[in-house]
């Protein structure tokens, strides 16, 4: 054995199938494919978890060996042979790369399909799942870059998770709002408002016609506004607006804090004040999310997740974890809302790719849909559905596009598009609500809203001055930039 | 008199638009029927935001596939309860939904006095809120001048 080569690279190309156990487990370094992590004939079981990775191997590293290495490093392998493998049923514990294909239009990259036996994962634990499949392998030297593109979660594993505490169907029943997208706005400015001033924005937005207002991701408990102050003023605004309109209203109270104890304290106070919804940031971590989800389930609380931080690892196509995978994990972990992109707004979002995220949140059974970047059928086994949230740089003039792209089961959040209205926050809310209702009504009447949208809005603006002002103010605002994260799906011959 | 921008209770899908004509209501009913929904007519004189169960004006029309028939039920309800809130509700029995697909108000009292918000002061600056309809103190059937 040559002990000086980099892990996984060996002169001898003997296949594992031709090796006897004594030779296989003798001390030294073997190619990963020789250790059993490459099994091209493997038929994944119904109970296997399957990952699709996009691998960019270092120059000179064979793609199949790279795929086998990813399988190995995300399951049982270490860089050298260990005799202690022989104390275990190690064949079960090895992940198996079983297919490698070139990525269409991306030289130097391959897609690798890897199957993991169910025994590898602790029931109901996103932390354990992720520690396995993305724990070590993303820093592995023989790879230039690695991205987890998609994951097929077997029904047997899905059933170990409780999923969203409320779910979009029950949320609608609790709020008494059906047949249209929900409307929200994030309170602006993000920072600096006192509790009293903050509540003013909440009241104006909700009375004007929004269903929800929202804390921003970095509103926690800073010197300018203690969290208790915020909650007290916000809930007065919520109740006052509910009485003024006869509708159920809510405001996402962000309970993100330094410790779980702090988060529970804040959530308890939100509950005591009668809030229908609390909010967390993705940066609190998977375990904290599952804990607060349990709390929300016990306390009839809708749980809103702001995906703060996700762009650091979801946006670049060659490295990280696709947001479609994060969306799957969050549906399992149990959140009721998740920010999933706007398509037309200021933040990253290819239309088809974004629709893929939405489908993952809302489908009973997600079907393979390559143009939308969905690589696997996913049976959700009746797990509750997550309500996606579209937020960031959207305005009333885009209502037809938003409804066409995103459908009814979505929260449309117009922050600047409400609070920045020239006639005030209530007027901004009215503009959005009228645009929304007019567009839903027109669509239901059979009108082609994509084509006729601007005309439908202009007609509604004839009886609604605030809508006219909104359309005039933002008519030319668009964010047309190329998306970095698009789907690569042309069918190509396998390289191995 | 309610002071919100719509000047009235804003429950349902279309409260911010001018009242739908019967022709427009028919188009919405047809949309629901095409999606396989079953329509139901409900009425109340207690439109509290958390009053879930308005009175059924007959059973949900599971077997009625004709929009004109649904509209006729609505007109009967309007004749019987001209000064009540009436809404059309569409039930979606799809597995995994099994809830309401559409809901909008199609009749209102002439005057909508709205709701009072009562605050009960409690410890640590907390408040307990009660929403009470200004018309709710009168007995059922007498709340909106019937």
pLDDT in tens, A371-407: 999 999 999 999 999 999 999 889 999 999 999 999 9
- Dist CA A339 CA A454 (whole Å): 26
Half-sphere exposure of A290 (CA within 13 A, CB side): 14
Q: Which tokens go with B114?
A: 């709205």
DSSP E strands in A344-426: the ranges are: 365-366, 378-379, 387-391, 411-413
**A159 has catalytic annotation:** no
Tell me if A446 and B117 make a contact (CB, 8 A cut-off): no
> Does pLDDT of A353 surpass 90?
yes
- Dist CA A286 CA A4 (whole Å): 39
Report phi then psi at A133, rounded to 5: -85, -20
Using a CB-CB cut-off of 8 Å, the residues of chain A touching B31 are: 444-446
- Residue A450, C-beta contacts closer than 8 angstroms, at least 6 positions apart: A400, A401, A404
For range A21-35, the mean pLDDT: 81
For range B90-100, the mean pLDDT: 97
Work out the number of other CB atoms within 10 angstroms of the CB of residue B20.
18
Angle between helices A399-406 and A425-444 (to 10 degrees): 50
Catalytic choice (A271, A306, A337, A421): A306
Pairing of strands A182-186, A411-413: parallel
> Does pLDDT of A492 surpass 70?
no
Distance from CA of B124 to the nearest CA of A (A): 10
Q: Which long-range contacts (CB under 8 A, 24 or more apart) does B64-67 make?
A: B64/B38, B64/B39, B65/B33, B66/B33, B67/B26, B67/B29, B67/B30, B67/B33
Q: Which tokens go with A434?
A: 């009228």
> Which residue of chain A comes nearest to B122, CA vs CA?
A273
Distance from CA of B4 to the nearest CA of A (A): 6
> Does pLDDT of A482 surpass 90?
no
Confidence of residue A344 (pLDDT cuts 50, 70, 90): confident
Show the CA angle centred on residue A381, arms to residues A379 and A387, nearest 5°. 85
**Is A215:A187 a contact under the CB 8 Å cutoff?**
yes
Confidence of residue A477 (pLDDT cuts 50, 70, 90): confident
For range A430-438, the mean pLDDT: 98
Chain B contact probe: residue of A444, A445, A457 with most B CBs at under 10 A: A444
Interface pTM, i.e. ipTM: 0.97
Classify residue A96 as exposed, middle or buried by CB count within 10 Å of its CB (0-12, 13-18, 19+): buried
Pairing of strands B38-44, B85-92: antiparallel
pTM here?
0.94
Report phi then psi at A281, rounded to 5: -105, 150
Res A345: pLDDT: 73
Enclosing H/E stretch for A184:
strand A182-186
Tell me if B31 and A180 make a contact (CB, 8 A cut-off): no
For range A213-229, the mean pLDDT: 96
Chain A contact probe: residue of B2, B13, B22, B39 with most A CBs at under 10 A: B13
- Dist CA A343 CA A412 (whole Å): 12
Distance from CA of B47 to the nearest CA of A (A): 7
**Is A411:A184 a contact under the CB 8 Å cutoff?**
yes
Question: Chain A within 8 Å of B129 (Cβ-Cβ)?
Answer: yes
Res A201: pLDDT: 97
Residues B99-129 have pLDDT tens digits of: 999 999 999 999 999 999 999 999 989 999 9
Res A343: pLDDT: 87
End-to-end CA distance of chain A: 26
Residues 66-125 of B with CB under 8 A from A: 89-90, 95-104, 114-117, 119, 125
- Dist CA A289 CA A130 (whole Å): 14
Res A150: pLDDT: 98
Res A27: pLDDT: 77
> Does pLDDT of A8 surpass 50?
no
Supply the mean pLDDT for chain A: 92
End-to-end CA distance of chain B: 18
Q: Which residues pair with B102 in a beta bridge?
A: B90
Using a CB-CB cut-off of 8 Å, the residues of chain B touching A240 are: 117
For range A330-347, the mean pLDDT: 91
Tell me if A235 and B28 make a contact (CB, 8 A cut-off): no
- Please identify which residue in the block is written with the tokens 């004839």: A462
- Dist CA B28 CA A471 (whole Å): 26
- Dist CA A183 CA A205 (whole Å): 10
Of B4, B14, B89, nearest to A244 by CB-CB distance is B4
Say whether A338 sits in a helix, a strand or coil.
strand
- Dist CA A410 CA A215 (whole Å): 18
**A337 has catalytic annotation:** no
Res B35: pLDDT: 97
Res A24: pLDDT: 79
Q: What percent of chain A has pLDDT over 90?
A: 80
**Is A364:A382 a contact under the CB 8 Å cutoff?**
yes
Of B5, B14, B131, nearest to A242 by CB-CB distance is B131
CA dist A285 to A81, A255, A259, Å?
34, 13, 11
Which of A69-78, A197-206, A314-323 is the least confident region? A69-78
Show the CA angle centred on residue B144, arms to residues B139 and B146, nearest 5°. 85
Using a CB-CB cut-off of 8 Å, the residues of chain B touching A466 are: 5
Distance from CA of A102 to the nearest CA of B (A): 38
Report phi then psi at B132, rounded to 5: -130, 130
Half-sphere exposure of A98 (CA within 13 A, CB side): 15
- Dist CA A414 CA A428 (whole Å): 9
> Does pLDDT of A335 surpass 50?
yes
For range B83-94, the mean pLDDT: 97
Of A173, A180, A208, nearest to B13 by CB-CB distance is A180
For range A124-132, the mean pLDDT: 97
Res B146: pLDDT: 57
Tell me if A445 and B131 make a contact (CB, 8 A cut-off): no
Q: Which tokens go with A207?
A: 């009375």
Catalytic choice (A144, A159, A162, A188): A188
Q: Please tell me chain B's helix, strand, coil percentages from 3-state DSSP, rounded to the nearest 5.
A: 20, 30, 50
For range A444-473, the mean pLDDT: 97
- Please identify which residue in the block is written with the tokens 């354990």: A128
Res A66: pLDDT: 95
> Does pLDDT of A18 surpass 70?
no
Q: What percent of chain A has pLDDT over 70?
A: 93
């Amino acid at each position: 054995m040559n002990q000086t080569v980099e892990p996984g690279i060996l002169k001898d190309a003997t296949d594992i199938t031709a090796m006897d156990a004594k030779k296989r487990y003798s001390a030294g370094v073997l190619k990963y494919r020789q250790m059993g992590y490459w099994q091209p004939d493997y038929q994944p079981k119904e109970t296997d978890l399957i990952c699709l990775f996009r691998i960019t191997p270092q120059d000179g590293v064979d793609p199949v060996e790279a795929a086998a290495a990813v399988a190995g490093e995300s399951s049982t392998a270490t860089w050298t042979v260990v005799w202690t493998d022989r104390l275990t049923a190690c064949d079960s514990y090895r992940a198996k790369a079983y297919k490698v294909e070139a990525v269409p239009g991306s030289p130097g990259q391959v897609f690798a399909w890897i199957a993991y036996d169910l025994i590898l994962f602790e029931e109901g634990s996103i932390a354990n799942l992720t520690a396995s499949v993305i724990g070590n392998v993303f820093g592995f030297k023989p790879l230039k870059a690695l991205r987890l593109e998609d994951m097929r979660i077997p029904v047997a594993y899905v059933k170990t998770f409780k999923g969203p505490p409320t779910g979009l169907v029950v949320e609608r029943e609790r709020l008494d709002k059906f047949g249209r997208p929900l409307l929200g706005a994030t309170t602006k400015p993000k920072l600096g408002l006192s509790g009293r001033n903050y509540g003013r924005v909440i009241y104006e937005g909700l009375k004007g016609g929004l269903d929800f207002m929202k804390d921003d991701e970095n509103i926690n408990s800073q010197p300018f506004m203690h969290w208790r102050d915020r909650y007290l003023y916000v809930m007065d605004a919520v109740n006052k607006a509910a009485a003024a309109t006869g509708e159920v209203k809510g405001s996402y109270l962000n309970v993100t804090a330094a410790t779980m104890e702090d988060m529970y304290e804040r959530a308890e106070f939100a509950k005591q004040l009668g809030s229908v919804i609390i909010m967390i940031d993705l940066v609190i971590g998977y375990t904290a999310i599952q804990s607060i989800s349990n709390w929300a389930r016990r306390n009839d609380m809708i749980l809103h997740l702001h995906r703060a931080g996700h762009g650091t690892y979801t946006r670049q196509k060659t490295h990280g974890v696709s947001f479609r995978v994060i969306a799957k994990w969050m549906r399992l972990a149990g959140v009721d809302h998740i920010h999933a992109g706007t398509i037309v707004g200021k933040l990253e979002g290819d239309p088809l790719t974004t629709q893929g995220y939405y489908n993952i949140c809302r489908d009973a059974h997600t079907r393979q849909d390559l143009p939308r970047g969905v690589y696997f059928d996913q049976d959700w086994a009746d797990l509750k559905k997550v309500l996606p949230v579209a937020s960031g740089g959207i305005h009333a003039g885009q209502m037809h596009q938003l409804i066409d792209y995103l459908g009814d089961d979505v929260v449309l959040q117009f922050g600047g598009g409400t609070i920045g209205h020239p006639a005030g926050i209530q007027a901004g809310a009215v503009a959005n609500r009228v645009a929304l209702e007019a567009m839903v009504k027109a669509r239901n009447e059979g009108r082609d809203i994509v084509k006729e949208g601007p005309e439908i809005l202009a007609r509604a603006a004839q009886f609604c001055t605030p809508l006219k002002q909104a359309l005039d103010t933002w008519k030319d605002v668009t964010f047309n930039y190329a998306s970095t994260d698009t789907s690569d799906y042309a069918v190509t011959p396998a390289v191995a | 008199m309610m002071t919100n921008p719509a000047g009235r209770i804003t429950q349902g899908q279309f409260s911010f638009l001018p009242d739908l004509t019967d022709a427009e209501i028919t188009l919405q009913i047809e949309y629901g029927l095409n999606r396989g929904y079953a329509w139901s007519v409900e009425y109340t004189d207690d439109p509290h935001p958390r009053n879930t169960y308005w009175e059924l004006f007959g059973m949900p029309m599971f077997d009625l596939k004709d929009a004109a028939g649904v509209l006729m039920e609505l007109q009967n309800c309007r004749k019987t309860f001209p000064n009540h809130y009436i809404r059309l509700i569409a039930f979606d029995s799809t597995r995994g939904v099994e809830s309401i697909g559409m809901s909008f108000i199609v009749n209102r009292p002439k005057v909508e006095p709205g709701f009072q918000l009562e605050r009960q002061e409690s410890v640590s600056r907390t408040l307990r809120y009660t929403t009470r309809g200004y018309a709710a103190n009168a007995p059922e059937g007498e709340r909106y001048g019937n």
